[in-house]
Structure 1
Amino acid sequence: MAKSGLVLYIALVLLCSCFAWTQCAPGSALVTHLPGFNGSFPSKHYSGYVTIDPHHGKRLFYYLVTSERDPSKDPVVLWLNGGPGCSSFDGFVYEHGPFNFEAVKTQKGLPRLHWNPYSWSKVSNIIYLDAPAGVGLSYSKNLSDYLTDDLKTARDSHTFLLKWFELYPEFLPNPFFIAGESFAGIYVPILAFEVANGIDAGVKPVLNLKGYIIGNGVTDEKFDGNALVPFTHGMGLISDDLFEEVNRECKGNYYNSFSSTCHSKLSKVDQAIIGLNIYDILEPCYYGPSTWTVKAGKDRLPTSFRQLGETERPLPVRKRMFGHAWPLRAPVRDGRVPTWPELLNSKSVPCFNDEVATAWLNDKEVRKAIHAEAQSVTGDWELCTGRVLYYHDAGSMIKYHKNLTARGYRALIYSGDHDMCVPYTGSQAWTRSMGYKIVDEWRSWIFNEQVAGYLQGYENNLTFLTIKGAGHTVPEYKPREALHFYSRFLRGKRI
């Protein structure tokens, strides 16, 4: 064979092997085993770093779980957890990842991993991304990168996606969605906007963006701030009389009223809900509510809206079963908000237990298996870190939702209806405020012959959906139902 013919033959072989799927994926990123798990994987796993700024040594960590069904055709979904400052291994370990993690009884033992029958990798390829730099296993050698904001985070995540798809070009034809929960209600629409603008501008590679998914997401200061009082009344947590008093004195404005009488009535609401698990009012708290205070009105906004950029911020509360990144309001002691060290060394914060994920991701063998840097580079893995100083500078997300849905991108906004951290009442109100025509009037949706929640569909492919009995992290509380609506939305099917 002539030399030119041999070169052409080799090129064709490489091209064909790539189209045979996953052969183009970097071999060094393949995960072959995981400590704590025995057996073979039903689909391929890849993990590692994408360097988004070589001058600063800024590297974002990802973990890809390919679809167990048809990875060559199934959608690719980017998953982001919130915070700001929470690792997307939250979703991997506790929500919809491929494994269920079983804690061991011995103090130094690693968790045991079992297959999760309701993993979202049953129907999609899913990328768990730690972002921004400084979160989870992502890091930068220039500490100035740990001072960030909404727009910078979106730009960095967009850069990650472009470089990631260059590493995995076989996925470019697949439908692409961006998903997340909690403060990712900020991350997701801004990133989707960046991606959409890049597509329109002809940025290469061209991503096949189809839509986005947000669960119990922070969206708008006014709507989120006014959501708690209607929620507490609707759930029977405050009396009709108190609700009427609050409405009369606050005139429906619980978020930024300057009336001292309104504040007095809101204090009664605060007292009524002390001791409840804010992430699921049906569940007990992990430690206890003795020093935990939840506030109505402007002070009950997520920490992300109230104290961004401070060096001493309230603890980003998380759990094994109960909770997420930030509280409605930090516990107040002696008239002040305690510092990070005080809270981290205290067990008075309820619903906080990350022992399983922390033990697993700080194990040397686990880090080696998933191609993560050692603790000497990234520091200890924390579910929600205090390293990142984050500024919420993009304002309300409603303008982003209007832009994206008007351009034809599909949007699913879902809410666990027993979450008091980001109550469904706020999400229901802001989706309605978009002014879109209702095309699927409020109705129940069914799973396993039972009512699983309610939804309302709007024109421009916007859907608001509740999950009956679920808390803040829906796939954790209702994994079967979550997989059901997730898979149907990805396929464009009626839920």
Structure 2
Amino acid sequence: MAINNLLVFICCIFILSFQFSEAIQAGSLVTNLPGFTGNFPSKHYSGYVSVDEKNLFYYFVASERNPSKDPVVLWLNGGPGCSSFDGFVYEHGPFNFEEGNPKGSLPKLHLNPYSWTKVSSIIYLDSPAGVGLSYSKNESKYITGDIQTAVDTHAFLLKWFELYPEFLNNPFYISGESYAGIYVPTLASQVVKGIKAGDKPRINFEGYLVGNGVTDRMFDGNALIPFAHGMGLISDDLFEEVEGACRGTYYDYESNDGCMRSMLKVDEALTGLNIYNILQPCFHEPLSQQDSNANSSLPASFQQLGATERPLKVRKRMFGRAWPLWSTVKDGIVTLWPQLIEGDEHRHIACVVDVAGSWELCTDRITYHNQLGSMIPYHKSLTSQGYRALIFSGDHDMCVPFTGSQAWTRSLGYKKIGGWRSWISKGQIAGYLQSYDHNLTFLTVKVSISSLRI
């Protein structure tokens, strides 16, 4: 059973617990998951929240420690266009899994000893509408961008806290990875505006976390060459050639013929690597050959993604867990899950698929506009107002390399609190960090962001 098939059934299981309808859904308790035996370590809820003809799907996992006091964290995967169940299954959700045996059987789920839900409650949200199981009957709503996504997600949060008022006093944090480097600070700014405007209910917002986040066209675009050289992926000779030809401006290489020729050599040297974790194997699906960038290994930060108002048909230009490249097992029967389930208790699965459409890890159903340029002014504004910020990077992620995040956090000009130092997990060095005033921390995690464990 493939990983994606697991994602499909996890996205669908909320239907097992309550009758699906197109109306706004109060949270419904999830009491079991196919493939898992035993009791959940905390309460799970799932449902829809309606915002302007859009029905946004969430899965909420209460903290296993002290849900009445522990932080509530919103998690957003990137893309744009990728379901946040990616984070639930691949990274920090409450379960690990193993492949089913024999082939085609359900995967077995086990409790994840490193889940973030050990210390916090997490809302996994499919956003914007059209992603995962979030949908709209008005398909014009699938044409969207940074501004509307932030507005819609803020509206979602206000309604979500009305459904779960017992969590209003808990510290609230916004988190995400990759293209969520744009989702997170724009949403955080929207939340802060709402607090100042007196929006009710009042969200107890304290800060945010961004992992390998898209931030700034120049910093992100200039990050790859020093990363690739430092990791031993390109030779000294090629590094010096590119440095001389591009004169330190690698992100705008198409305007310089000499730089472009050198960058093509870099591209050739990097071909075949998994850009999300250069230590992991790279698996390709046949569909990847149809992509306009399929002949290029250069990360999306080199594909001019940050151009203002440029519409992005997802799967053409992808940040974060891009579907052809991130996998450690072979792809499987993603669309066959409903056919594998028998019994009247599962009758509502077909209903949600009919309304929301077939679930995909990363969809091409939406058209997305990158509208706001650099996120650095957003980070500067939020941190200067006292909100906590953790900017973390898997140190082997080549899509949005740590070298760019390290550079832009330093560019804010904040005073360093102490020096560069290691941080420890279970007696071992797990990465390095630099603290700044204004509650800003830049932190690296050994290997990739999916390795971040508490």
Bucket of the pairwise TM-score, normalised by the shorter protein = 0.7 to 0.9
CA RMSD of aligned residues (A): 2.9
Structure 1, 267-276 or 73-82: larger mean CA deviation = 267-276
| 1:441 to 2:419 alignment | yes
* 1:364/1:374 contact within 8 Å kept: no
SS at match of 1:457: strand
TM-score normalised by length of structure 1:
0.79
* 2:28/2:47 contact within 8 Å kept: yes
Structure 1, 302-311 or 260-269: larger mean CA deviation = 302-311
The residue type paired with residue 446 of structure 1 is I
Map of 1:276 onto structure 2: 273
| 1:259 to 2:256 alignment | yes
Map of 1:235 onto structure 2: 231
Q: 1:461 aligns with which of 426, 434, 439?
A: 439
Partner Cα separation in structure 2 for residue 251 and residue 152 of structure 1: 37
The residue type paired with residue 402 of structure 1 is K
Partner Cα separation in structure 1 for residue 176 and residue 139 of structure 2: 26
| Rg (Cα) greater in structure | 1
Partner Cα separation in structure 1 for residue 119 and residue 341 of structure 2: 31
Change (3 A) 1:421 1:223: same
Deviation digits for residues 86-124 of structure 1 (CA, Å, limit 9, x no counterpart): 000001111111111222134542222111111111100
* 1:111/1:356 contact within 8 Å kept: no
Greater relative contact order (Cα < 8 A, sep 6+): 2
Map of 2:39 onto structure 1: 40
Map of 2:59 onto structure 1: 63
Deviation digits for residues 113-159 of structure 1 (CA, Å, limit 9, x no counterpart): 11111111110011000011110011111111100000100000000
Deviation digits for residues 339-374 of structure 1 (CA, Å, limit 9, x no counterpart): xxxxxxxxxx54455648776689768997898762
Map of 2:22 onto structure 1: none
* 2:418/2:435 contact within 8 Å kept: yes
Map of 1:300 onto structure 2: 302
Structure 1, 288-297 or 214-223: larger mean CA deviation = 288-297
The residue type paired with residue 221 of structure 1 is R
SS at match of 2:220: helix
* 1:227/1:423 contact within 8 Å kept: yes
Deviation digits for residues 40-84 of structure 1 (CA, Å, limit 9, x no counterpart): 11111110001112xx3x110111100111000000000000000
Structure 1, 58-67 or 255-264: larger mean CA deviation = 255-264
The residue type paired with residue 37 of structure 1 is F
Q: Which aligned pairs between 1:144-163 and structure 2 lie closer than 5 A?
A: 144-163=140-159
Partner Cα separation in structure 2 for residue 147 and residue 367 of structure 1: 37
Identity %: 61
Partner Cα separation in structure 1 for residue 427 and residue 102 of structure 2: 42
**Structure 2: which 5+ residue stretches go unaligned?**
1-24
Map of 2:186 onto structure 1: 190
Structure 1, 226-235 or 367-376: larger mean CA deviation = 367-376
Q: How big is the shift at 1:220?
A: 0.8
Deviation digits for residues 210-259 of structure 1 (CA, Å, limit 9, x no counterpart): 00001011111111111111111110111112211211121101111432
The residue type paired with residue 282 of structure 2 is C
* 1:137/1:381 contact within 8 Å kept: yes
Q: Which aligned pairs between 1:295-374 and structure 2 lie closer than 5 A?
A: 300-301=302-303, 308-309=310-311, 314=316, 316=318, 324-325=321-322, 349-351=324-326, 355=332, 374=352
SS at match of 2:311: coil
Partner Cα separation in structure 2 for residue 151 and residue 361 of structure 1: 35
Map of 1:122 onto structure 2: 118
Partner Cα separation in structure 1 for residue 332 and residue 443 of structure 2: 32
SS at match of 1:138: coil
The residue type paired with residue 426 of structure 1 is G
| 1:97 to 2:93 alignment | yes
Change (3 A) 1:251 1:453: same
SS at match of 2:393: strand
Partner Cα separation in structure 2 for residue 361 and residue 80 of structure 1: 26
